[in-house]
């Protein structure tokens, strides 16, 4: 009991001490939506952190998060100042942070696509439209907050069938991320899935996909997707012109090792208006009020 | 000094004491006698609860000892004095006993022949040793009078005599509840007999003998 | 013991209530989706168990860090919970405090974590409070029960002449202390499980790496992490020592500390904007608010409530059956020492694996339906109750050695043990429901699914209302369970969640 009393006092003090030990040197912290395997993301973004701290002459750190919502919240709460968002998560995040901006996107992100994939047992073949026979099957999206894994596929399903996914399919799941969607359809846990085309191509290239088990049956029309978004108040913390410095650093990224990690061929400038189509689509299917 | 006028106590719908009138003068040594369930403990409790009203300070030896099992004998005895010290002193004394109370408690325990148990936790003691700890606590408490409910029930003949002697020396006014008639006759000057919650005997010791009292237990 | 020997088979009230619950569960099964939806379930199952053969930690950045984080959050959360709970327990005679504690308890740690993630983001206080707050409410209740049941006599005999604090420290605390310590150290084990599970929503604990490894299908890593977790739980008595605890508690805050900063603006914004229903926030007329609410209620809350109830009732009865089947495994009335040892290992593994992790594993292997959830809840809770019953049955002596096996079970043991069994089971009813709701995060359409969706859509107003509904449902089941227990004259002691 004696010990406990002393411990209680010391314990309170040490908690207070530890919570106040953030460094005075301002670190630029960035995050990204967890759209694929965490180990790949860590590899990719730790490289980017090194690249950015060299180009910006400021310590830069990557913080992984577990969900799309957590990435948005961290951006909103100023716990990260820069983020690699998807189309939908970017629109949501920027609507919550005044003066925040989309500053750069991959060349491919201007014309992004979603692939609908199917397990071989369905017998479905590639076609011009979504086949009618997908109704009554088990279908998985990616994350609930994903553009290519949720928003766009749901939009095209509703447009063609005039039904919500839960009305059309027997089971509707949310796998969590694109890598997982591919794995789940490949093992037959779900018969159908919707997946980010870049992740599909990348995993195909890395030999992680068994094309006898799973194949692409339909490709959506193109839409704008991923982008780097930055908070409006970075200039006031790191000095005037800092936002432009970040933008410049991203766009002048030429190292193929860095670019292949995304994978993107290059980054180009972006602005908030590029993502109006995403905002409108999200409003149409009720994901944004 | 202590007065009760037509006091009654009911407990769970049953009358435990009815219409007790009692005047106790300073310096008296009282013995409450009667079968178990006759109301002795209830009467002692009533007197204990009335001490504030009487503006008096009573020491108590409860029948069931009411010790804190996980504290040492020292701390249990020290509890008799808690009210006289500041809270800080009490708390610090819990962590590291002060010299002064240790000496005080040791002296009391010495008389009771359990000084060697000073820092042993109470739950390791025998029934008799626990009872003597409760007695020591009352001695430590001191006060205007003592209420002792079967204070020697777990002690042998010699120890009982010793304890009764010590208590009668320290406290001027004492109210014992006793089932040992011989002790009552030897140490007390006034005997109160209770039966079914009613006062049936109230007389000085010299007007009574053993057989009068035994009748109380025979009915 | 007398009371428990009341006839259990026909005509007794306990027997009728038992069958009523079985009947309800039977009806529920018609409305629940209990199929295996995977087309090649054996492939994945095979890969999963082949991972057990060569567990590997190569791909995990720092398993040591994951372990340290898990321990630190558990220790700090339980420390915070027990301190706060202790002070609350002293005020537990106030109805207000009791109601608040009941509401806090009825919200699962994971939901608390989702709420605090919005307020404090990645700051470690998110995890500390997510674990500490519901634990504080539980500690308050159990400590209050301990205080109530303890011996008041020493306290009563000195309180007239003594200050409140001195009297409490001398006459109450020393005898309450061992009970507090027993319960608190027991909750530490629960805390380790909770801490690991919080990793699933982003705390850097074991669950964080476990869920990543799972999602990537790295089963060798999954097994390595699970084995680490079992070792951690099994060795708890070796590394949790009273003398070491102060040291741990001093180091832990520095382990969980990170660069995040708490901003008061975020906290204010959460309470003044985020959780205000959007029609009110936008100043829309009352009709719009009504439409918003009825839409939420009929399209999300109601289906969520129905699925939560269906799954809870199924899991409750299945848990009971599982416990009745499993407890002989560890009872000396049925098996010898060596056989019981194997039984113990099985039960320990099942009860130290959180339902959430079990359900996660089974969902991956069997595809989406309620079956994985029912099986996960049944295995975990069944093992806990079986463990308690097994221990209880050791107190029964087998008077006549000629009854054995099935006869012994039905004639001698079951009648004696059925009362405590029902008490344990009804006690866990509320716990099973709390877990059922949370399993929604994994994709089963219970309330947790709709809460998780609302948060994914950044609609905290909806999420908060759904969390409230979940809490009230839980409190309701708790009250019902207590009513049934008192009607059937069942008595339980405090147990783990």
* C63-119: pLDDT as tens digits: 788 899 999 999 999 999 999 999 999 999 999 999 999 999 999 999 999 999 888
> What pLDDT shows up at residue C2?
38
CATH number of C55-274: 1.10.3720.10
* pLDDT tens figures, A215-259: 999 999 999 999 999 999 999 989 899 999 999 999 999 999 999
CA B8 – CA A107 distance, rounded (Å): 96
Chain C interface, mutation test: which of A5, A34, A77, most C Cβ atoms within 10 Å? A77
Q: What's the helix, strand, coil split of chain C in %, to 5? A: 80, 0, 20
- What is the model's pLDDT at position C397? 66
Q: What is the pLDDT of residues B81-111, one digit of tens each?
A: 888 888 888 888 888 899 999 999 999 999 9
Mean pLDDT of chain C: 87
Half-sphere exposure at residue C152, Cβ-oriented, CA atoms within 13 angstroms: 5
Summarize the confidence of residues A77-87 as an average pLDDT.
93
What is the number of CB-based contacts under 8 A between chain B and chain C? 63
Interacting residues of C447 by C-beta distance below 8 A, sequence separation 6+: C301, C304, C305, C307, C308, C437, C440, C466, C469, C470, C473
Ranges of CATH 3.40.190.10 domains, chain A:
10-110+224-284, 113-219
Which segments of chain B have a pLDDT < 50?
Answer: none
What is the CB-side half-sphere exposure of residue C97 using CA atoms within 13 A? 18
CATH topology (fold) of A113-219 = D-Maltodextrin-Binding Protein; domain 2 (3.40.190)
Q: What pLDDT does residue A218 have? A: 95
Tens-digit pLDDT profile for residues A42-56: 889 999 999 999 999
| ipTM score assigned to the predicted complex | 0.85
pLDDT category of residue C496 using cuts at 50, 70 and 90:
very low
Q: What is the pLDDT of residue A2?
A: 55
Query: Residues for chain C: how many in total?
Result: 497
Domains of chain B (ranges, CATH numbers): 1-57+144-219 (3.40.50.300), 67-142 (no CATH)
pLDDT at A14: 61
Helix, strand or coil for residue B59? strand
Whether the pLDDT of residue C430 is over 70: the answer is: yes
At A7, is the secondary structure helix, strand, or coil?
helix
Query: What is the distance in angstroms between the Cα of C201 and the nearest Cα belonging to chain A?
Result: 6
Q: Give the dihedral sign, CA C164/C166/C167/C171.
A: positive
User: Which one of B52, B79, B90 has the shortest CB-CB distance to C160?
Assistant: B52
| Tokens representing residue C121 in the block | 């983001």
Question: In chain C, which residue's Cα lies nearest the Cα of A171?
Answer: C368
User: Is there a contact between A104 and C293 (Cβ–Cβ < 8 Å)?
Assistant: no
Task: Report chain A residues whose CB lies below 8 A from the CB of C456.
Answer: 67-69, 143-145
**Quick one: pLDDT at residue C186?**
86
User: Å from A283 to nearest chain C CA?
Assistant: 12
In 3D space, the residue among A107, A103, A93, A108 whose CA is nearest the CA of residue A199 turns out to be A108
In words, the CATH class of domain C1-31+280-497 is mainly alpha
Helix, strand counts (H, E) of chain B = 8, 8
Q: Does A22 touch chain C (CB under 8 A)?
A: yes
Distance separating alpha carbons of residues C198 and B35, to the nearest angstrom: 64
Contact C117 A70 (CB under 8 A): yes
Q: What is the pLDDT of residue C398?
A: 58
Asked if A189 reaches chain C (Cβ–Cβ under 8 Å), the answer is: yes
Closest to C444 measured CA to CA, from C308, C297, C302, C300: C308
Cα–Cα nearest to C473, from C447, C442, C445, C452: C447
pLDDT at C144 over 50: yes
Are C261 and A42 inside 8 Å of each other by CB?
Answer: no
Neighbours of C394 (CB within 10 A): 12
Q: How far apart are CA B16 and CA B38, in angstroms?
A: 8
Chain A: partners with 3+ C-beta pairs within 8 Å? C
Instruction: Report d(CA A21, CA B215) in Å as an integer.
Output: 82
- pLDDT tens per residue across span C293-351: 999 999 999 999 999 999 999 999 999 999 999 999 988 888 888 888 999 999 989 98
Give the single-character DSSP code of C409: I
Q: Specify the higher pLDDT residue, A20 or C265.
A: C265
- Which of helix, strand or coil describes residue A232? coil
Q: In the prediction, which pLDDT does C492 show?
A: 59
| Residue pair B27/B189 in contact by the 8 Å Cβ criterion | no
Q: Helix/strand/coil (H, E, C) string of C25-39? A: HHHHHHHCCCCCCCC
How far is the CA of A265 from the CAs of A35, A254, A283, in angstroms?
A: 19, 9, 31
- What's the per-residue H, E or C state across B117-152? HCCCEHHHCCHHHHHHHHHHHHHHHCCCEEEEECCC
Nearest CB to A7 within list C33, C61, C246: C246
Structure tokens that stand for A46 in this block = 């730790």
Q: What are phi and psi of C310, to 5 degrees?
A: -55, -50
At B3 the pLDDT is 81
Q: Report the pLDDT value the prediction gives residue B143, as an integer from 0 to 100.
A: 85
pLDDT at C1: 35
Number of H helices, E strands in chain C: 24, 0
Task: Determine the Cα–Cα distance for residues A243 and A86; give it in Å rounded to an integer.
Answer: 20
Evaluated on CA atoms A74, A80, A86, A92, the torsion sign reads: positive
CATH of A10-110+224-284, one of 3.50.50.60, 1.10.3720.10, 3.30.1280.10, 3.40.190.10: 3.40.190.10
pLDDT at C152: 82
pLDDT of B164 reads 93
Distance spanning both ends of chain C, measured CA to CA: 26
C174 touches chain B (CB under 8 A): yes
In DSSP notation, C305-357 reads HHHHHHHHHHHHHHHHHHHHHHGGGG-TTTS-HHHHHHHHHHHHHHHHS-HHH
* CB atoms closer than 10 angstroms to residue A16: 10
The residues near C254 (Cβ < 8 Å, ≥ 6 apart) are: A14, A18
- Confidence band, pLDDT 50/70/90 cuts, at residue C202: confident
Q: Mark yes or no for CB contact C118/A179 under 8 Å.
A: no
Better-scored residue on pLDDT, C452 or C496:
C452
Domain ranges of chain C: 1-31+280-497, 55-274
Q: What is the pLDDT of residue C185?
A: 87
The DSSP bridge pattern shows strands A114-119 and A214-219 to be antiparallel
Geometric angle at alpha carbon A63, from A62 and A64, rounded to 5°: 115
A54-68, C34-48, C95-109, C404-418: least confidently modelled range: C34-48
Q: What is the DSSP string of B78-116?
A: HGGGGGGS-HHHHHHHHHS--HHHHHHHHHHHHHTT-GG
d(CA C134, CA A256): 50
In this chain, the answer to whether the domains covering C1-31+280-497 and C55-274 adopt an identical fold is yes
The confidence band for C400, taking pLDDT boundaries of 50, 70 and 90, is low
Helix (H, G, I), strand (E, B) or coil at A192: strand
Q: Is C209 exposed, middle or buried (0-12, 13-18, 19+ CB in 10 A)?
A: buried
Least confident of B100-104, B129-133, C440-444, C476-480: C440-444
């Amino acid at each position: 009991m004696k010990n406990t009393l002393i411990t209680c006092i010391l314990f309170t003090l040490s908690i207070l001490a530890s919570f106040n030990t953030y460094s005075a040197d301002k670190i630029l912290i960035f995050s990204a939506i967890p759209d694929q395997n965490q180990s790949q993301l860590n590899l990719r973004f730790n490289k980017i952190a090194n690249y950015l701290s060299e180009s910006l002459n400021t310590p830069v750190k990557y913080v992984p998060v577990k969900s799309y919502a957590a990435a948005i919240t961290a951006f909103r709460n100023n716990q990260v100042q820069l983020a690699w968002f998807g189309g939908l998560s970017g629109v949501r995040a920027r609507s919550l942070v005044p003066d925040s901006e989309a500053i750069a996107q991959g060349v491919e992100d201007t014309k992004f696509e979603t692939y609908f994939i199917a397990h071989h047992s369905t017998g479905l073949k590639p076609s011009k439209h979504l086949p009618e026979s997908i109704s009554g099957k088990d279908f998985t999206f990616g994350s609930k907050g994903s553009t290519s894994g949720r928003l766009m596929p749901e939009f095209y399903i509703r447009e063609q069938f005039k039904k919500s996914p839960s009305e059309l399919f027997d089971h509707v799941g949310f796998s969590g991320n694109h890598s997982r969607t591919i794995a789940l359809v490949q093992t037959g846990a779900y018969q159908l899935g919707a997946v980010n085309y870049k992740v599909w191509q990348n995993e195909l290239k890395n030999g992680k996909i068994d094309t006898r088990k799973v194949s692409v049956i339909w490709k959506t029309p193109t839409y704008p997707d991923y982008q780097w978004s930055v908070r409006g108040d970075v200039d006031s913390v790191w000095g005037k012109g800092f936002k432009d410095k970040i933008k410049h650093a991203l766009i002048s990224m030429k190292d193929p090792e860095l670019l292949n990690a995304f994978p993107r061929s290059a980054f180009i400038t972006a602005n908030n208006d590029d993502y109006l189509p995403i905002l409108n689509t999200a409003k149409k299917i009720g994901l944004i009020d | 000094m202590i007065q009760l006028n037509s006091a009654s106590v009911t407990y769970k719908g049953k009358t435990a004491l009815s219409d007790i009138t009692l005047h106790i003068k300073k310096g008296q040594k009282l013995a409450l006698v009667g079968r178990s369930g006759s109301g002795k403990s209830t009467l002692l409790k009533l007197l204990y609860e009335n001490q504030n009203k009487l503006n008096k300070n009573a020491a108590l030896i409860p029948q069931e000892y009411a010790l804190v099992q996980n504290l040492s004998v020292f701390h249990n005895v020290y509890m008799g004095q808690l009210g006289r010290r500041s809270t800080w002193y009490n708390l610090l004394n819990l962590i590291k006993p002060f010299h002064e109370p240790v000496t005080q408690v040791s002296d009391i325990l010495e008389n009771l022949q359990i000084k060697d148990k000073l820092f042993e936790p109470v739950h390791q003691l025998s029934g008799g040793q626990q009872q003597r700890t409760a007695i020591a606590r009352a001695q430590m408490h001191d006060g205007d009078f003592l209420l002792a409910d079967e204070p020697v029930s777990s002690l042998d003949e010699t120890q009982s005599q010793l304890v009764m002697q010590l208590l009668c020396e320290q406290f001027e006014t004492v109210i014992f509840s006793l089932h040992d008639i011989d002790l009552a006759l030897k140490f007390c000057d006034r005997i109160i007999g209770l039966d079914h919650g009613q006062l049936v005997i109230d007389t000085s010791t010299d007007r009574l003998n053993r057989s009068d009292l035994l009748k109380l237990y025979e009915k | 013991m007398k009371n428990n020997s009341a006839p259990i088979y026909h005509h007794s009230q306990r027997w009728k209530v038992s069958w009523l619950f079985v009947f309800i569960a039977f009806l529920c099964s018609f409305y629940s989706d209990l199929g295996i939806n995977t087309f090649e379930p054996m492939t994945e199952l095979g890969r999963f168990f082949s991972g057990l053969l060569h567990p590997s930690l190569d791909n995990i950045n720092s398993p040591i860090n994951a372990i340290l984080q898990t321990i630190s959050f558990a220790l700090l959360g339980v420390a915070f919970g027990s301190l706060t709970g202790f002070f609350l327990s002293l005020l537990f005679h106030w109805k207000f405090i009791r109601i608040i504690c009941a509401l806090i308890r009825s919200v699962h740690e994971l939901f608390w974590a989702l709420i605090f993630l919005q307020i404090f983001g990645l700051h470690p206080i998110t995890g500390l409070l997510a674990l500490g707050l519901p634990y504080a409410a539980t500690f308050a209740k159990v400590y209050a029960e301990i205080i109530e049941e303890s011996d008041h006599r020493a306290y009563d005999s000195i309180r007239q002449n003594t200050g409140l604090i001195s009297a409490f420290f001398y006459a109450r605390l020393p005898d309450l202390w061992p009970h507090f310590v027993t319960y608190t150290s027991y909750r530490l084990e629960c805390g380790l499980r909770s801490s690991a599970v919080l990793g699933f929503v982003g705390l850097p604990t074991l669950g964080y790496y476990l869920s990543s490894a799972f999602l990537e299908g790295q089963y060798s890593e999954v097994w390595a992490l699970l084995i680490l977790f079992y070792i951690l739980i099994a060795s708890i008595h070796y590394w949790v020592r009273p003398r070491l605890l102060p040291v741990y508690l001093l180091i832990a805050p520095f382990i969980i500390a990170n660069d995040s900063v708490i901003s008061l603006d975020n906290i204010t914004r959460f309470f003044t904007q985020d959780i205000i229903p959007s029609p009110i926030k936008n100043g829309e007329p009352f009709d719009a608010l009504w439409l918003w609410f009825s839409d939420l209620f009929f399209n999300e809350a109601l289906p969520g409530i129905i699925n939560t109830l269906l799954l809870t009732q199924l899991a409750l009865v299945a848990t009971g059956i599982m416990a009745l089947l499993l407890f002989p495994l560890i009872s000396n009335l049925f098996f010898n020492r060596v056989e019981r040892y194997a039984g113990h290992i099985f039960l320990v593994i099942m009860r130290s694996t959180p339902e959430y992790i079990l359900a996660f594993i089974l969902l991956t292997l069997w595809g989406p339906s309620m079956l994985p959830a029912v099986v996960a809840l049944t295995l975990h809770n069944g093992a806990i109750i079986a463990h308690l019953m097994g221990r209880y049955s050791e107190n029964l002596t087998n008077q006549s050695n000629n009854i054995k096996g099935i006869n012994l079970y039905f004639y001698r043991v079951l009648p004696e043990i059925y009362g405590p069994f029902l008490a344990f089971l009804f006690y866990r009813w509320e716990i099973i429901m709390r877990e059922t709701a949370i399993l929604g995060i994994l994709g089963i359409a219970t309330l947790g699914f709709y809460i998780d969706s609302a948060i994914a859509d950044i609609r905290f107003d909806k999420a908060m209302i759904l969390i409230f509904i979940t809490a009230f449902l839980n409190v309701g089941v708790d009250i019902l369970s207590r009513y049934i227990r008192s009607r059937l004259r069942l008595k339980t002691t405090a147990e783990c969640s």
